[in-house]
Amino acid sequence: MDATPQIVAYQPSHRDALLDLSIRAWEPVFPLLETDVPGFVYESFYPRGWRERQYDDLAQTLDGEPQQIDVALVAEEPAGWVCTRLHPEDRMGEVYVLAVDPRFQRQGVGNALLEYSFERIRRAGMNMVMVETGDDRGHAPARSAYESAGFERWPVARYFKDLNQ
């Protein structure tokens, strides 16, 4: 059953709810990520823990790019959000952040936010949209969602070397 959201422009009054739902959305992701990447990489990215890093990064996005953020409301409650960035030099838009409250996942909220982001990008005259996510087990649901939305995978290799060994 779809949760048919209303998509609205971000308001500062949404901030706390969006940060809370985002942390809950990524709760199942990070334990798997931690086991799938080298320890020195995980520790470098998350020296104070993933929750603090994610919270800080997302708060910076909400505070620094409010005009690029759209919020899905279900029964007037924030159910998810998307931050859309434009890269005119490449005629490309980017789904920079997409987060859906676990209570509303698999109910159409993420798809509605993606479609809204796509339309924002089209209106800006861009030709394509990209999104990045992890290749670890924790991000498998995100990869599946993006592939279902028609995204095609671009092969990228990112390497890390521990300089302390």
Q: State pLDDT tens for residues 76-112.
A: 999 999 999 999 999 999 999 999 999 999 999 999 9
In the chain, domain spans: 6-148
Q: How confident is the model over 113-159, as pLDDT tens digits?
A: 999 999 999 999 999 999 999 999 999 999 999 999 999 999 888 88
Q: Measured between alpha carbons, how far is 72 from 70 in angstroms, rounded to an integer? A: 7
* Whole-angstrom Cα Rg for the chain: 16
CATH code: domain 6-148 is 3.40.630.30
pTM of the model: 0.92
- Say what angle helices 15-26 and 29-36 make with each other, to 10 degrees: 50
